[in-house]
Amino acid sequence: MVPRRSWVEQIMGLPISVLARGDGAGSGPADAAVRAVFAELIEADRMFSPYKAGSAVSRLATGELNWDQVDPVVREVAERCVVARESTDGLFDADVPGGTWDPSGLVKGWAVERAGERLREVVDVDWCLNAGGDVLVVCPSGEPFTVGIQDPRDPGRVVASVSRTGGAVATSGTAARGAHLYDPRSGQPVVSRWLSVSVTGPSLEYADVLATAAFVAGDDWPTMLLPGYEGLGVLADGNLFTTAGWGRL
């Protein structure tokens, strides 16, 4: 049996789990890489959480900081949010009702993908990094991981799965956190007959952004996906709809 090892930490208000598979899964370098991943995610949460009074996001909201005073990485994320808004025709927008800035819809995927580069340094290990249902896969062996898509009506079940040797899977919806997503076109919470939309593709940052924009788009969600990305939507009655390329994954 191929050696495996797993780690779990609570970061960003959600469980972050890492699964290692391969001869080096139990090695010191593998453990050090995972600890570095967790450290980077803790730092990203410290800087970007809208729930922490000392974060850059909170201090910008209160006027304690202005954009000339923030760390360059905050400006980088702000620029990425602008690109994401433009590439989704405004359905992803970090400028939220009330005039504040909340990049949470991009930061998790961006931070996990960036931290995941630490895992690539351990070349004899396959990795599956799961951040509250958003998944990054790195498989130098070429053997895929199977990623399950949670049933939004029953967290203990999966409605579908997708095999990945690399890249990402991200899901957006209201099952876990209620109506926390808003439609930038109206400024109102999203009301949809879709319970969730999952997106898979090469980048977790963009899979996460596209899943959010797709969920906001409602019945037009497949039109939000960029080339190289495929999606699966779950309707309130349990029926599934997939884009053409999903079944080939």
Grade residue 189 by pLDDT with cuts at 50, 70 and 90: confident
Task: Evaluate whether the domain defined by 4-248 bears CATH number 3.30.930.10.
Answer: no
How far is the C-alpha of 45 from the C-alpha of 116, rounded, in Å?
15
Average pLDDT, the chain: 93
* pLDDT tens string 120-150: 999 899 999 999 999 999 999 999 999 999 9
How far is the C-alpha of 131 from the C-alpha of 116, rounded, in Å?
11
Residue that wins the pLDDT comparison between 120 and 181: 120
Helix, strand or coil, per DSSP, at residue 234: strand
- Out of 144-158, 180-194, 206-220, least confident range: 180-194
pLDDT higher than threshold 60 for residue 176: no
Instruction: Tell me the residue type at 42.
Output: I
The mean pLDDT of 30-52, rounded to a whole number, is 97
Contact criterion met (CB below 8 Å) for 233 and 203: no
Residues 6+ apart with CB under 8 A from 23: 2, 3, 124, 125
Residues 6+ apart with CB under 8 A from 140: 123, 124, 125, 126
The two most distant CA atoms of the chain are separated, in Å, by 56
| Residue 4 dihedral angles phi and psi, to the nearest 5° | -135, 155
Grade residue 115 by pLDDT with cuts at 50, 70 and 90: very high
Residues 6+ apart with CB under 8 A from 129: 16, 17, 18, 19, 37, 112, 116, 119, 135, 136, 137, 138
**Count of H-run helices and E-run strands, the chain:** 5, 14
User: Is the overall model pTM greater than 0.75, yes or no?
Assistant: yes
